[in-house]
Chains A and B, each alone.
Chain A
Amino acid sequence: MSNENIVGKNGQGEKDPNELKIVEEKGLGYTLTVAREDILKAAVGLKEAGFDLLTFVAGVDMPDSIKLTYRVYSSKQKNQVAVIIKTEVPKSDPVIDSLTPIWSSANWHERETYDLLGVEFKGHPDPRRMFMPEDWVGYPLRKDYKDDRMVVFEDYRTDRPGDSE
């Protein structure tokens, strides 16, 4: 199964190959790394190629950016493959286009990412918090999130390596 099988024959291959290139990554399978401006274009291309099921949106808090990972699956392709889309938004301006027009299931996944990591999704129909109350301050999954409730025993905390960061 080569890269052309997944999107190449369905119109994506005609575009600049540097822009949308699916590579096989260890541990993840097929991945497609795009710039944040191109996320909508990549998503439309994948949807046209038959990738009709978005199973999750994950955000990873890196030191100066937030990495976003989407996993899409194709029920139409014979070999039933999944592709992971990766992109990055800078922490100073964490805004990205919402994928809700393409996959309705992006709705809650994006709300969750907004709630826990503070990434704003442009064009999201319902940009509210998902898990936390509306008046919650901060984004818990960021590495620099501080909360008094997260510590029970103060001495225990200093014993743990990595928590002092």
Chain B
Amino acid sequence: MSKIEETKVSKANLAELEKELAFDETRESEPTLKTEELVLNFGPQHPSAHGVLRAIFNLDGEVVTKIVPYIGYLHRCFEKIAEKRTYSQFMPFTDRMDYVSSMHNGWAYAMTVEKLADIKVPERAEYLRVIFAEFQRIASHLLFLATTATEAGALSPFFYFFDERERILWLFERLCGARLTYNYVRIGGVSADLPDGWLEDALAFINRLEKTILEYDKLLLGGYIFKKRMKGVAPFSAERALDWGITGPPLRSTGIPYDIRRSDPYSVYPRMDFDVVIKDNGDNYDRVCIRSDEIKQSLKILKQAIEQLPDGPIIADGVAKDIRPPAGEAFAHVESSRGDLGYYIVSDGSIKPYRVKIQGPSFANLQAFPAIAEGAYLGDVVLTLGTLDPVFGEVDR
């Protein structure tokens, strides 16, 4: 009873506060005041640019009227290098593409080559990939929440989210020895089986995060200041999102249930029971909340995958070191933390791919950045860029 009253009181206070803070027209500047457009350079090295984006902002007062992004500052020529490596040699490069969710890149590439060469992956390997990928998705979304909170001015969530992420990295480290670039997926399976006691520790972590994520929701997403800052800012409709080619959480936040795990099922995802999270408004707040909700769904998948994990081999028999797939083309994609991540490989029957095209979701999402953010305030533009969560290893490739 007292709780309800408390919220009522605080709501009344907030209404008063809002009235006080409301825009006062009488204090508006004189119409005769001369204004002119300001051109502002952003990046390529900027603490909140999420990497190496350079953009030119045209400012009318505080409102950004035009954005022209320039990319290519991290163009490492992966597609050209791929033509000069054998199929297995290209595997470590995929980790460095979308370095915040390395696992998904390796998986998408391995899936494409397996499709091309008709390799059947053992069931245990598929489950291990799902477990690893969902942990990776959680780690990536935690990093997203941490950086978004920092950009919004909330500095303490950074430490909480990174603490949780660190625990996932410990699990990864025990499994494959690396903290960021795992190289865990191999063509035909995975590189290592679970060490003793790994599953127990993983379950303990899942149980821990299930509780703590609710606290973090309260801490960050439930905060009045955060809501005020994010709600209704830079909204995007479903039609425009599709037109601009957005995929992943930003597209789902507009109400389109496009999740490859469901719309083009791969691996053992059809056996898992989970929901594709969608939101309606497509504004900054939805784009942040959807990540938190996806973490909860990933935890659900992880529990099922660990329960169903079968015994058996972890890599397909008879996969040669130098794979020679028959001439042909293949396309396979996975739902990475950022969206629809696909590989299109053309083979000419030799040990090296003829052409590897990487369909990076960050590239498509970043492309819509001007369309989404134009018309917003300068302070919100950086946040909007943050909610799209581009990773420049994947944008520039």
Contacts and interface: CB of A to CB of B under 8 A. Distances in A.
Direct contact of A and B (CB under 8 A): yes
A55 B355 contact: no
Interface string B368-386: 1001000000000000000
Contacts of B116: 27
B244 interface: yes
A54 B340 CA distance: 11
Contacts of A71: 331, 342, 344, 359
Nearest to B243: A104
Given A58-B357, A108-B363, A163 B329 contact: no
Interface string B163-180: 000000000000000000
Nearest to A61: B355
B71 interface: yes
Nearest to A149: B77
Interface string A124-165: 000001111100000011010100001000000000101100
B354 A60 contact: yes
A56 B243 contact: no
Q: Which of B75, B79, B331, B340 has the most CB of A within 10 A?
A: B331
A145 B367 CA distance: 28
Nearest to A29: B331
Contacts of B244: 104-105
Interface stretch (B13-21, B38-46, B145-153, B256-264): B256-264
Given A104-B243, A130-B72, A131-B396, A27 B371 contact: no
A130 B397 CA distance: 12
A131 B264 CA distance: 31
Nearest to B359: A56
B72 A132 contact: yes
Interface residues of A, number: 41
Nearest to A130: B72
A70 B83 CA distance: 20
Nearest to A103: B243
Contacts of B271: none
B292 interface: no
A55 B245 contact: yes
A75 interface: yes
A38 interface: no
Interface string A53-97: 111101011000000010101010000101010000000000000
B242 interface: yes
A105 B331 contact: no
A107 interface: yes
B80 interface: yes
A75 B256 contact: yes
Contact of A105 (B115, B344, B364, B396): B364
Interface size band for B: 35 or more
Interface string B236-274: 000100111101000000001010000110000000000
A43 B115 CA distance: 27
A159 to B, nearest CB: 13
A1 interface: no
Given A56-B344, A108-B363, A131-B72, A27 B264 contact: no
A27 B331 contact: yes
A72 to B, nearest CB: 10
B346 interface: yes
Nearest to A57: B357
A124 B117 CA distance: 37
Contacts of A69: 344, 357
B329 to A, nearest CB: 6
Contacts of A143: 83
A26 interface: yes
B328 A26 contact: yes
A116 B78 CA distance: 12
Interface in B325-380: 328-331, 340, 342, 344, 346, 350, 352, 354-355, 357, 359, 363-364, 367-368, 371
A63 to B, nearest CB: 11
A27 B329 contact: yes
Contacts of B344: 56, 58, 69, 71
A104 B331 contact: no
Given A27-B115, A52-B242, A131-B396, 12 more contacts: A55-B342, A58-B359, A61-B355, A71-B331, A80-B263, A107-B367, A112-B363, A130-B72, A132-B72, A145-B80, A162-B352, A163-B84
Interface of A: 25-29, 52-56, 58, 60-61, 69, 71, 73, 75, 80, 82, 84, 103-105, 107-109, 112, 116, 129-133, 140-141, 143, 145, 150, 160, 162-163
Interface of B: 71-72, 75, 77, 79-80, 83-84, 115-116, 239, 242-245, 247, 256, 258, 263-264, 328-331, 340, 342, 344, 346, 350, 352, 354-355, 357, 359, 363-364, 367-368, 371, 396-397
6 contacts: A28-B330, A56-B357, A69-B344, A105-B367, A109-B245, A129-B72
